Amino acid sequence: MANDRLHIKTDSGEMIEASAPVIISASRSTDIPAFYAKWFFNRLTKGYCTWYNPFNQQKMYISFKNCKVVVFWTKNPKPILPYLHILDEMDIHYYFQVTLNDYANEGFEPNVPSINERVETFKLLSDKIGKERIIWRFDPLIITPNISPRELLTRIWHIGNKLKGYTDKLVFSFVDVKAYRKVKNNLVKETIFFTKEDVEYAEANHAQRIEIVQGLQKIREAWYNQGWDITMATCAEDINLESYGIEHNRCIDGELMKHIFAEDKELVYYLHTLKWPKRDIFGSLPPIPQKEKKVKDTGQRKVCGCIVSKDIGMYNTCRHFCVYCYANTSKDCVIKNMEKHNEDSESIIG
C-alpha cells in the first residue's frame, strides 16, 4: 500500500494511473490551510488531485485512497478550522506546523494577520485538536541592522509566553540566502534593509548562531521552571546543537505520528515498516518487526530528517508574499497564477 499505484477516473471521465501515498504534506510549497482550504476538501471529496513538478512541469496524479495522515503547514490555520471535522469523519489523522513569527515592524510577512490574531487562532486550534498536534515554528531567523540575536530572542520570548501550554515543541531555522536566488532577490527588492552587496548578512554567522542557541537554552530553562516543558529543534540545519538541548527536527515525523496516533495499529505498523499490514484469516494484525525501516524522503534537502510523504502544493501560489520565501519567484508570478485558479480545478493552479 505504501507505494501503490492505482487507476482513478478523472473529472473528465478519463482513466489515469495515480500514486496513492499514505502521508500527504499540505504543503511546503504554499499555504493550503490559509488560501486553499476549500480547494483541498473539494479534491478530497473527488478522491484525487494533480501536482506539477516545479522543475520540469511534469503532471502527476495523486489519489487520496490510501491517505492516513495529512501534515499541514501554515501561517494562518483559521480558514481551515470549519473543515477539520471532515478529516475526523474520514478517519484521516492530521497535525499542524504553524509558523508564528514576529516580523511585523519589518514587513517581512505583509499578508499575514496581526500577531495577536495569529496567537488567538493558534490557541483555538490547540484547544480543538490538542497541543501535541500543533507545532510552533519561528522560522526563519533573520538578522538585519535592526534585528540582532538578542532582539530575535526577545521576540521569541514574548510570543512563547502567550503560547505557554498550547504546544509541546518550537522549531526554528536560520534563513538561507546564499542557497536561494529567489530569497536574495526578494529581500533586496521588497525590503529597505538590504542591498545586493550586503543581503547575505541576513544569514546569522557562527557567533550569532551560538548567541541565539545559548539564549534559546536559557529561555527553555525559564519556561521549564514555570511548568512548560517545551522541546526545541532545528529544521534542516546541519549544525549539531545537542549540547544545548536542541534536537534535529523531523517535520514529517513518523515517531510523532506513532505517539499521537498510537491507537491506529495499522498506521503504527506502516510507520515502522513502510508497508501496510495484511491481516490474517482471523482479522489479526501481524506483529511489528523488531527492526525498524528508516526511509528518508529523498526529495528533500540532505540534512532534512522527514520520512516519505507526497507534497501537493505548488510554487508561486502563496499570497502571504513573505520576502524570505523560497517558493515564490515574485509577487507578480503569484498574481498571474491566481488568475488561473479555481476551487474545483484538479491542482491549485488548474
Render pLDDT for 199-227 as a digit per residue (tens, 0 to 9): 999 999 999 999 999 999 999 999 999 99
3-state secondary structure 19-85: ECCCEEEECCCCCHHHHCHHHHHHHHHHCEEEEECCCCCCEEEEECCCCCEEEEEECCCHHHHHHHH
Position 1 pLDDT exceeds 70: no
Position 137 pLDDT exceeds 80? yes
Percent of the chain clearing pLDDT 90 (strictly above): 83
Q: CA-to-CA distance for 167 and 288, rounded, in angstroms?
A: 30
Residue 296: pLDDT over 80: no
pLDDT of residue 209: 97
Provide the pLDDT confidence category of residue 289 given band limits of 50, 70 and 90. Answer: confident
Q: Is the pLDDT of residue 40 over 80?
A: yes
**Pick from 306, 274, 294: which is nearest to 2 by CA?**
274
> What 3 state SS string does the chain have?
CCCCEEEEECCCCCEEEEECCCEEEECCCCCHHHHCHHHHHHHHHHCEEEEECCCCCCEEEEECCCCCEEEEEECCCHHHHHHHHHHHHCCCEEEEEEECCCCCCCCCCCCCCCHHHHHHHHHHHHHHHCHHHEEEEEEEECCCCCCCHHHHHHHHHHHHHHHCCCCCEEEEEECCCCCCHHHHHHHHHHCCCCCCCCHHHHCCCHHHHHHHHHHHHHHHHHHHHCCCCCEEEECCCCCCCHHHCEEECCCCCHHHHHHHCCCCHHHHHHHHHCCCCCCCCCCCCCCCCCCCCCCECCCCCCCCCCECCEECCCCCCCCCCCCCCCCCCCHHHHHHHHCCCCCCCCCCCC
- Among 57-61, 137-141, 291-295, the range with the most confident prediction by mean pLDDT is 137-141
Query: Cα–Cα distance between 315 and 327 in angstroms, integer?
Result: 5
Per-residue model confidence (pLDDT) at position 3: 53
The answer, yes or no, to whether residue 102 has pLDDT greater than 90, is yes
Any idea where the domains of the chain sit in the sequence?
A: 5-338
User: pLDDT tens-digit profile of 313-343?
Assistant: 999 999 999 999 999 998 899 998 888 888 9
pLDDT per residue over 244-262, tens digit each? 999 999 999 999 999 999 9
- pLDDT digit string, tens, across residues 50-76: 999 988 889 999 999 999 999 999 999
What's the pTM value of the predicted model, to 2 decimals?
0.95
Residue 165 pLDDT: 96
The overall average pLDDT reported for the chain is: 94
What is the rounded CA–CA span in Å between residue 18 and residue 259?
30
The cell numbers describing 271, all together, are 510507520
